[in-house]
Amino acid sequence: MVSRRHFARGAAMVSICALTVGLVSQPAAADPKWAGPLTKEPVATGSGGAVATVDLEATRAGLSVLRKGGNAVDAAVAAAAVLGVTEPYSCGIGGGGFMMIYTAKDRKVHAIDHREKAPKAMQPDAFFEDGKVLPFDDARYSGRSVGVPGTVAGWEEALDRFGTKSLRQVLQPAISVARNGFEVDETFAEQTEDNREYFDDIPSSAKTFLDPDGTAPDVGSTFRNPELAKAYERIARYGAKGFYQGPIAEAMAKAVTNPPVSDDADHQWREGYMTTDDVKSYRADWREPTKVSYRGLDVYGMAPPSSGGSTVGEALNILEGYGLKWITREEALHYFLEASRYSFADRNAYVGDADFVDVPLQGLLSKDFAAERRALITGKAAGEVEPGDPWPHNGGGSGSGTPSVTLEKGTSTTHLTVADKHGNVVAYTFTIESTGGSGITVPGWGFLLNNELTDFNYDSTTHVNRVEGGKRPRSSMSPTIVLDHGKPKLAVGSPGGSTIITTVLQILVDRIDLGSSLPEAIAAPRATQRNGETTSAEQAWIDSPEAQALQERGHKFVDGGEIGAATGIEFLPGGKLLAAAEPERRGGGSAGVVRPW
């Protein structure tokens, strides 16, 4: 184990324009302690440390911590806590995530799993009624979809092992923003409106997120969340124990087992199973990250219960057999789509919580297995394919996969990336699942509970990713760290449900193989092939010359709307850092460096 002391001492599209907006919060402008970037810019270069998030306030908080001597873990937790205020429909203390940490002192990558868990009493048929599986919205907007939150446990675990500052210290920026407010942008207003008819059923959600007349807050208005500030203050005072025991834990359990529904609610809200014992017993786990070599680089990802590391890794292994930089872009994109297709077939069949099921992870990441899958790829789109058999490449064991469609409907989540002056790196993806989670705000505490249990294959009682008590649902979150001879080269991640995997893969291929800069790779039009007859894509992709040529190969594209909102950091020669965030999706992100060049 690397000590906190050792960790602390351890060692664009060219034409992209900065997105300049006014200060989004009064406290940051008034309080010089949290001074940081004054404008929202998607690209920044410099030294001394870097932060990239979807939000100006979060980036400002992370950079402030770095400037005050904190390390990458300290800054990541500070930024994440602010995102819990400003991006409450995507993330927060009512959810969970995966944090990847590179420690410069020993040149190792560590991974914290603080994914939500199903309550112990849940059974595989929990989402069935009268022999039929519940429709998605009925399953989602309910107490039944809520897993035991892991975010706070993950924050404390990361700080205890690798941080230099206390939870109390790093929560201060978030407390300030929650109390004093931030300016509502179009994304926040639209996401509120999308949930309004369900929030209106839950008095605590209506009180927290809707105006007194029951409408979404206006763009440009100031949004405050004093109850969330109170929750953060309790956590700051007592640590994770203040969340997992006492009044917050009791209020969470009650909201799940007896959803706080108004008498005139327009929807049925089903009860869930989470008890205070479930909450009290939650623990974050350290996982061995996945690792594949690609073009001489080491690519680290998240192991099960995430499918991110295995699926991105398998696809890279498949793609390594092609000289992508020497062929046409259209041909390279064809192989990208087909590698995604085959790796998703295997992901859908084999990946679940490895504490409950045997996952042939070694086989899935085997170069020989990738060669078998690559041999099936032709010059034409394959359509839906069957999973392969990774077990012979798994060093023992046997089993069979269960083909399935990709059920996850969550398009929310957020990702942040941080590096410090010592060379330590954090790639952190966390979520409450769908935009707005379960729709249930914990009364008196101002945060939404997740709907992560809909990430199970909840329509099956036999699938490896079926519902089981105490089990973590399979995730697609893909925080990724790339090393070059043991030193960080690139860190990246994205929101977007199961499209996270293909977004991260596309960014890596664009950056490593196809000559794009990191900002260009993040901004590029996207397509996501997840083993289907059609490929979801953004309209800009569909309209591209490459897409027209790909259709001649049999690819069928459908408009999938906006895909992802990634952030990343690249390490450049001479100690220079490039931080990049999404320039347009979800209103654009915010990148900053400690010392701009």
Catalytic residues: 413
Q: Which string of DSSP letters, residue by residue, matches 547-574? A: HHHHHHTT--EEE-------EEEEEEGG
Looking from the CA of 295 toward its CB, the CA atoms found within 13 Å total: 15
Name the residue type at position 102: Y
Query: Could you tell me the CA-to-CA distances from 368 to 197, 260, 394, 505 in Å, in that order?
Result: 51, 53, 10, 20
Burial 399-433 (b: 16+ CB within 10 A, else e): bebbebebbbbbbbbbbbbbbbbbbbbbbbbbbbb
3-state secondary structure of 59: helix
Q: How far apart are CA 535 and CA 334, in angstroms?
A: 11
CA distance 404 to 498: 13
At 480 the three-state DSSP class reads strand
Helix H, strand E, coil C: the string for 100-118 is EEEECCCCEEEEEEECCEC
The dihedral sign for the CA sequence 156, 160, 161, 163: positive
DSSP 304: T
- Cβ-defined contacts of 30-33 (< 8 Å, 24+): 31/176, 33/64
Exposed, middle or buried: residue 354 (CB in 10 Å: 0-12, 13-18, 19+)? middle
Return all residues near 432 (Cβ < 8 A) that are at least 6 apart: 89, 90, 91, 92, 94, 95, 412, 438, 448, 449, 450, 451, 452
Judge whether 190 and 37 are in contact, CB under 8 Å: no
- Nearest CA to 486 out of 427, 425, 429 is that of 425
In whole angstroms, give the CA distance from residue 205 to residue 208.
5
Environment class of residue 306 by beta-carbon count within 10 Å: exposed (0-12), middle (13-18) or buried (19+)? buried
